[in-house]
Structure 1
Amino acid sequence: MIGTPTVKDGRRSAWVRNWTLWKYFQSYFPVKLVKTHDLSPKHNYIILCHPHGILSYGAFINFATLEGIFWIPFVRDYVMSMGICPVSESALMYKLTQQGSGNAVVIVPGGASESLLCRPGVSTVLLNKRKGFVKLALKTGAYLVPSYSFGENEAYNQETFPEGTWLRGLTRGSWGFLPFNHPITTVVGEPLPVPKIFDPDKDTVAKYFELYISALRKLFDQHKAEYGFSKTQELTII
C-alpha cells in the first residue's frame, strides 16, 4: 500500500512543478494526470490506482508517498503539514469521516504482489481478493473512483524467474536503474456513488465490488487506444 494525501490544495504541487530540476525530470520521464470528471466537494472519495507497476510512478508523482516516510522524524511532520497521511485503516477512516467533505484518499490496492505481474504490454490487475477498499467506502459513504496509469508497466522490463527464485525488475537501454523515458498518463475516471452502511454484509460488499470492476474496465477500454494499447487489448483482473 501507499501513503495517501488528501486532494484539496494544488498550490504546493504547482510550486514544485516550477522547479528547474522538475522540468528536466519531466523532459526525460513525462508523467501527467488526466481528469475525466469533476469531483464535487459535497462528497469524500477513495481513488484507486492501477496498476502498481514496479515503483508506482503514476501514483507517487500524481498523488502519494510511501507509508515508510511517516517513520522518519521531521520528514513525517513535513508531509503531514501538506495533508498527507499513512494508508492505515484508522488514518483513512479519520480522513473520510472526521474532516467534513471534499476529501480524497488514494490507495494502490494491488501492492507488492501485483508488481511481480508487471511488464511491458501487460495489463493485469490483482484485485479479486482485495475488497477491503469497498468495505471502507461503504462504512464511510465515500465514493469510489477508478484510475489507471497507462504506461506504468512500460517503465521497466521485468524478467520472471522460476518459482522459488528471486523476481526482480531489470532495465535495458536506460541509465542504470532509471526508468525508461516512456510517458505515464494517469487517467482518473467517473466517481461511483456508494451508500453509507455502518456494518455492510458480504453480499453488499460483493455488489459494489462488481460495480467498481465494471467502472474500472469501462475506464480502461475508453482510453487504452489513446495511451498506448491496441483496441483489442483486455484488462485482466485476477
Structure 2
Amino acid sequence: MKTIIAAYSRVLKGTDSSFLSALQDLPSAPWPALRSKMEKHLRVISVLQWVFTFMSMGIACTVLLVYMFCTDLWVIAALYTAWLIFDWNTPKQGGRRSSWVRNWMVWTYFRDYFPIRLIKTHDLLPSRNYIFGYHPHGIFSFGAFCNFGTEATGFSKKFPGIKPSLATLAGNFRMPVFRDYLMFGGICPVNRNSIDYLLSQNGTGNAVVIVVGGAAESLNCAPGINSVTLKNRKGFVRLAIQKGSDLVPVYSFGENNVYKQIIFEEGTWWRLVQKRLQKILGFAPCVFHGCGLFSSNTWGMVPYNKPITTIVGEPITVPKVEQPTQDMVDLYHAMYIRSLGNLFDKYKTRFGLKESDILHIQ
C-alpha cells in the first residue's frame, strides 16, 4: 500500500507521466524478499520434520499408546490395538500407498533444501520388475527417501508405469502410527516376505529399492568418502535371479556430504560398541552433526544444504532361476559391481569429484 501511495504522489507532483512508470521506478516491493526468506525457513522445517519423525515418531507413538491404556482414553487405545493386530501383515503385502501423501507440498520444500535431483539414464519397461540397489547409505538416506518415497523429483513422470517401493528396517513397521506414515509413502519392510510379494504377486512394473550397504555402511559415511559396502552383499542378487527381476544400480552423489561424522577406527572400543548396538537395534548409532537451526557455523541436527544428485543406471537383465547356483550369483554380482563402478566413473566429474577419485568397494 505504501508503494502504491508513493507512486501516486509522484504522478501528482508531475515527476512521472504515468502511474505504471512511477511504480517501475520505485524500489522493489519488500514481499519478494519476505517470500524468499519464508521459503528458506519452510525448507529447513520440512527437513527437520523428517529427521525428527524418523528418529522419534515411532517411539513417541508407542509410549503414547501405552499411556492411553492408563487413562480414560483406554477404549481408543484398545480399538487401535485391535486394528493394529488385524492390519499387522499389510506392510508385507504391498502396504498402503497414498498418492496424496507422496505429493504433499512439504516434500517439494524438502527437495529444494539440498537440493535433490533424480537423473534417468535409461528407460525401464513396465512389463518387467526391478531391484534398485541404492548407494551410498549416508546417515538418513535423504536421496533415497525423496526420490522413491515421494514424488518430489517426479519419479512417476520419468519412469511411467514403474511403481517404486523403498525398503527399510522391518522394525519400523511394528511401531503404531509410524508404520502407516511409512506405508503411505510406498515404503515397505526390507524382508523376504515383503519383497517376495512385490516381485511375484503384485504384477509387473514394480521396483523395490534396497539400500544395499545398510547400517554397516552408514558407519563409514562422511564428506569426501566414496565407499560402498557391497563386496559380500549378494542376497539381493540371488533374490533378483529367483524372481527374474532386473538389477538397476543407483548412485547418489552428495549423499555423504550432508552430515559430518566421527568415524572410529576398526578395533577401537567405540567401534566395537557401535557394531554391537547395530546388531541389537538393527541400525548403527552414528556420532554425527549438521549445522544449527539459526547459523551454519554452529552444530546441530539440520543437515548441510549440499546438493544430492541420484543417478539411475542401466538395468542388468536377469534370468529367472528358482535355484541359482553360487557361480551364477557371483557372476551377476560381479556384473552389478562393474556396472555401478562405470556409473560412478561416468558422472563423477559432473558433480564435484575429480577424475582421479575412485569408488571403493568394501
Q: Which of the numbers 236, 254, 270 marks the counterpart of 1:165?
A: 270
For normalisation by structure 1, the TM-score amounts to 0.87
Once the two structures are superposed, the pairs formed by residues 137-216 of structure 1 within 5 Å of their partners are 137-162=240-265, 163-165=268-270, 168-171=287-290, 173=297, 176-216=300-340
Question: Are residues 1:113 and 2:113 paired?
Answer: no
Once the two structures are superposed, the pairs formed by residues 68-147 of structure 1 within 5 Å of their partners are 68-77=171-180, 79-80=182-183, 83-147=186-250
- 1:171 partner letter: G
Q: Name the CA distance, whole Å, in 2 between partners of 1:126 and 1:82.
A: 26
Deviations 1:7-64 (A, max 9, x none): xx99547622xx2x44444443211211111110110000010001111111122123
Q: Name the CA distance, whole Å, in 2 between partners of 1:15 and 1:60.
A: 13
Q: Name the CA distance, whole Å, in 1 between partners of 2:304 and 2:298.
A: 6
Q: Name the CA distance, whole Å, in 2 between partners of 1:196 and 1:65.
A: 22
Residue range with higher mean Cα deviation, 175-184 or 36-45: 175-184
Higher relative contact order, structure no. (Cα contacts within 8 Å, ≥ 6 residues apart): 1
Paired residue secondary structure (1:127): coil
Identical-residue share of aligned pairs (%):
48
Equivalent in the alignment of 1:30: 115
Shift of 1:87: 1.1
Answer whether contact 1:140 1:196 (CA < 8 A) is retained. yes
Paired residue secondary structure (1:226): helix
Deviations 1:85-130 (A, max 9, x none): 2111111011101111111100001011111111111100111111
Answer whether contact 1:174 1:180 (CA < 8 A) is retained. no
Q: Which of the numbers 203, 216, 234 marks the counterpart of 2:358?
A: 234
Residue range with higher mean Cα deviation, 77-86 or 136-145: 77-86
Paired residue secondary structure (2:224): coil
Q: Which runs of 5+ in 2 are unaligned?
A: 1-90, 149-165, 272-285, 292-296
Q: Name the CA distance, whole Å, in 1 between partners of 2:180 and 2:227.
A: 36
Residues 1:31 and 1:13: Cα distance change in structure 2 (over 3 Å):
farther
Q: Name the CA distance, whole Å, in 1 between partners of 2:184 and 2:141.
A: 23
Shift of 1:81: 5.4
Q: Name the CA distance, whole Å, in 2 between partners of 1:175 and 1:159.
A: 13
Q: Name the CA distance, whole Å, in 1 between partners of 2:142 and 2:269.
A: 28
Residue range with higher mean Cα deviation, 169-178 or 29-38: 169-178
Q: Name the CA distance, whole Å, in 2 between partners of 1:213 and 1:234.
A: 13
Q: Over aligned residue pairs, what C-alpha RMSD do you find? A: 2.5
More helix by share: 2
